[in-house]
A and B are shown apart, each in its own frame.
Chain A
Amino acid sequence: MSDRHHEPQAAVAGTSMGGAMDLGVDEAETLEKKPGPDGAGPEDRPRSLWSDAWRDLRRNPVFIVSALVILFLVFISLWPSAITSGSPLKCDLAKAQEGSQPGHPFGFDGQGCDVYTRTVYGARTSVAVGVLATLGVAVLGSVLGALAGFFGGTSDAVLSRITDVFFAIPVVLGGLVLLSVITSNTVWPVIGFIVLLGWPQISRIARGAVITAKQNDYVQAARALGASNSRLLLRHIAPNAVAPVIVVATIALGTYIALEATLSYLGVGLKPPSVSWGIDISAASPYIRNAPHALLWPSGALAVTVLAFIMLGDAVRDALDPKLR
C-alpha cells in the first residue's frame, strides 16, 4: 500500500537461511557451486526456480499451516452455511451483550446478534476484498510497471513521479477522504480505493524486475535476433518478473484485509448492514467493559487471517529468492 511495506520486506526476507550460506569462507563457495567428483548426486540435477521453490515449500511447516488456514477461510467464505445455521442479521436485542451459551459459543454482541455467525460471515467480506483488490492491484501495477520498465524514457519518468505522488499520501487518510462521501454499501468502493492507492507498490516492483531482466544476455540476444517487443516482454522478460510480484502481492493481500477492517472500523469502509470484522470490532468497542468477547472473536479472526497471508508470502519469498539459497 505504501513505501513502508516495500522496504522492510527486505527485512522480512532472510528468515530461514542457514547452512552453507553462513560459511563465509572460500571453502563454502566450493561446497556450493561445484558438484561432487562423482558427478550426479540427487542434489546435482539442474532444477528450475519453480520446482525448487515448490520442493522447499512442501517441507516448510509455516507454509503448510498458513495454506491450510487460507483454504479453510476460502471454504467458509464460499459456503458459510456449512458451519453455521444462523443468519448474521438475525439479532435479538434482549440477548445483547450476553456471553457464551449453548448454540451460541461466542455469545452475543451489543445488538444481540450471534457473534459466531457474524464472525463466520465476516470472512467472506475480508477474503473478497483481499483477493479482488490484490488481483486489481497486481494486474494494473504489473502492466504499468512492466511497460515503464521496458520502454524507459519519458513514460518511465512520468510513471515514477506519479508513484511518488501516491506514496506521499497517507493511506488511511486518503481512504477517509475518498470513501467518506460514498454511500454505496458494497465492497466495490473499498476495492476500488485499494486498487487506486495500491498499484504503485506493485508497479515499482515490476518495473525493477523488468529492468533487471531486460539486461540479461539472453534477452539482448533475442532482441538481436529480431524478436518483437511484445514477444520479448511476454516470453523472455515477464517470467522473470513474476516471482517478485507474486511475493509482494501475497503479503499485500494480508495488508489489504487489514486495511479494509481499519477503514470499516473508522466508519468509511463497509457500513452496516454489511457484515465485516472491522464493523463488528468498531461496534463492540464501546461495550469493551461488559462484552469483551464481542470484540475479541472478530479481532482474533482478523488477526489470524492477516497473519496467514503474510506468513504465506514470507514462506513463498524464502522459497523463491535464489539469493537466500
Chain B
Amino acid sequence: MGRYVVRRLLQMIPVFIGATLLIFLMVNVMGDPIAGLCGERQCDPATAARLEQEFGLDKPVWQQYLTYMGNLFTGDFGTAFNGQDVTELMATAFPVTVRLTLIAILFEIVIGVTLGVVTGLRRGRPVDTGVLLLTLVVISVPTFVTGLLLQLLLGVKWGWIRPSVSSEAPFDELILPGLVLASVSLAYVTRLTRTSIAENRRSDYVRTAIAKGLPRRRVVVRHLLRNSLIPVVTFIGADIGFLMGGAIVTERIFNIHGVGYQLYQGILRQNTQTVVGFVTVLVLVFLVANLVVDLLYAVLDPRIRYV
C-alpha cells in the first residue's frame, strides 16, 4: 500500500505540472498580465515597464512559470487585483466553496443513493421509470438553467429563500445553491446506484444470503448495499474535485463569494496570479481526491490489492 501511494504521488507530478503549465500559458499568452495591476486605469508605459520587470514578465514564459511555481511552494501566491494577497483571498473564498461542496455531496448521498436503491430494487415499475426519466431531464438541463429556475420559483415566486446569498454564506443559505450544484451529479449517482443495485441483486451471493434465511432488510443493507455502493462511493469521491471547479456557475447565480466568484473576478480583470493560484489549488484538490478514491477502493473491496 505504501509503495502504491508513493507511485501514485509520483504519477501525479507530471499531471500537476502539465495542468498548471497549460493554465499558466493560457492566461499569460492570451491575456495581458499587467493590465489588472494598475487597478481600473490603464497603466502608463513607464509603470508598465517597471511592473514587467518586477514580475519578471520580460523573461521567457517557461522561466516565469518556474519562478511562479517556486514562489508558490514557499506559500507566496502573489497579489490579487485589489492589492490583497491571493492567499488572503483564498482564506475567505475556500471555506465558502467547501461548505457549498459539502452540502452538494450530502445531497448526492442522501437523495441520490436513496433514489438509486429504491429504483434499483423496483426495476421496471412505475417509480423506476419515473425517476429514470427525471434523472435524464436533470442531466439535460444545464446547471445555470436549473439554478435560475429554482431561484425564480423558490426565491422570487414563493419567497421560501433569499434569492441571493449574503457574504458570510452560512450553511442554511447554501442549501438551495448546494442542491443546484449537486443536481447533475445527483442524477448520475441515482443512475449509477440503480444499475449497481439491479446488477448485484441477481448475484449469487445475494441469493446465498436469501437462502441463509436472513431477513430482507439484512440482505439488502449488509449484503446488497455494501457491494453495490463501492462504485458509487468512488464516483462521489471523484466528484468533489469537479464540484469545486464547477461551482463557478452556481456561485454566480446566487452571488456567493466563493472560489468561483473570485476566479470570475480575476478573469474579468485579467489578474494572472489570482487565476493561476486558484486553479492550481483546484487541480491539487482534484488530484488528491482521485488518489483518496483509489485508496478508498482498497478499503471497501478487499479483493483489490495494490502492488
A and B touch in the complex (CB under 8 A): yes
A interface with B by C-beta (< 8 Å): 2-4, 7-8, 10-15, 18, 22, 24, 161-162, 164-166, 168-174, 176-178, 180-182, 254, 258-259, 261-262, 265-266, 281, 285, 288-289, 292, 295-296, 299, 302-303, 306-307, 310-311, 314
- Tally inter-chain residue pairs, CB-CB below 8 A: 159
Which residue of chain B lies nearest to A299 when distances are taken between CB atoms in the complex?
A: B145
User: Residue B214 at the A interface, CB < 8 A?
Assistant: no
Which of B18, B137, B238, B248 is within 8 Å of A176, CB to CB? B248
Which residue of chain B lies nearest to A15 when distances are taken between CB atoms in the complex?
A: B132
Which residue of chain B lies nearest to A181 when distances are taken between CB atoms in the complex?
A: B30
User: Residue B298 at the A interface, CB < 8 A?
Assistant: no
Which of A161, A173, A285 is within 8 Å of B15, CB to CB? A161
B interface with A by C-beta (< 8 Å): 14-16, 18-19, 22-23, 26-27, 30-31, 123-124, 132, 136-137, 139-145, 148-149, 151-152, 156, 185, 188, 191-196, 198-199, 202, 235, 238-239, 242, 244-246, 248-249, 252-253, 263-264, 267-268, 270, 275, 279, 282-283, 286-287
Can you list 21 contacts pairing A with B, beta carbon distance less than 8 Å? A2-B242, A4-B185, A12-B188, A14-B199, A18-B123, A164-B18, A168-B286, A171-B245, A172-B245, A174-B23, A176-B263, A177-B23, A177-B279, A258-B140, A261-B144, A262-B144, A266-B249, A266-B264, A292-B152, A295-B149, A310-B136
A262 touches B143 (CB 8 A): yes
A254 touches B142 (CB 8 A): no
Q: For B238, what are the chain A residues with a Cβ–Cβ distance below 8 Å?
A: 3-4, 7
Of the listed residues A8, A262, A266, A314, the one surrounded by the most CB atoms of chain B closer than 10 A to its CB is A8
Q: For B246, what are the chain A residues with a Cβ–Cβ distance below 8 Å?
A: 170-172
B248 touches A172 (CB 8 A): yes
Which of A169, A258, A262 is within 8 Å of B283, CB to CB? A169
Q: A266-B252, A281-B144, A303-B137 are in contact. Are A11 and B195 (CB under 8 A)?
A: yes
Q: A165-B15, A165-B19, A307-B137 are in contact. Are A299 and B148 (CB under 8 A)?
A: yes
CB distance from B94 to the nearest CB of A (A): 15
Which of B191, B198, B264 is within 8 Å of A12, CB to CB? B191
B124 touches A165 (CB 8 A): no
Q: A168-B283, A307-B136 are in contact. Are A161 and B245 (CB under 8 A)?
A: no
Q: For B188, what are the chain A residues with a Cβ–Cβ distance below 8 Å?
A: 4, 8, 11-12
Which of B137, B248, B267, B287 is within 8 Å of A180, CB to CB? B267
Q: For A281, what are the chain B residues with a Cβ–Cβ distance below 8 Å?
A: 144-145, 148
In Å, the complex CA distance between A29 and B230 comes to: 28
Q: For A10, what are the chain B residues with a Cβ–Cβ distance below 8 Å?
A: 192, 195
Which residue of chain B lies nearest to A170 when distances are taken between CB atoms in the complex?
A: B245
Which residue of chain B lies nearest to A165 when distances are taken between CB atoms in the complex?
A: B18
Q: For B239, what are the chain A residues with a Cβ–Cβ distance below 8 Å?
A: 4
In Å, the complex CA distance between A173 and B195 comes to: 31
B267 touches A176 (CB 8 A): yes
A306 touches B15 (CB 8 A): no
Which of A7, A24, A169, A176 is within 8 Å of B19, CB to CB? A169
In Å, the complex CA distance between A13 and B246 comes to: 25
A178 touches B26 (CB 8 A): yes
In Å, the complex CA distance between A22 and B107 comes to: 31
Of the listed residues B199, B253, B267, B268, the one surrounded by the most CB atoms of chain A closer than 10 A to its CB is B267
Which residue of chain B lies nearest to A304 when distances are taken between CB atoms in the complex?
A: B140
Q: For B123, what are the chain A residues with a Cβ–Cβ distance below 8 Å?
A: 18, 22
Q: For A303, what are the chain B residues with a Cβ–Cβ distance below 8 Å?
A: 137, 140-142, 145
B156 touches A288 (CB 8 A): yes
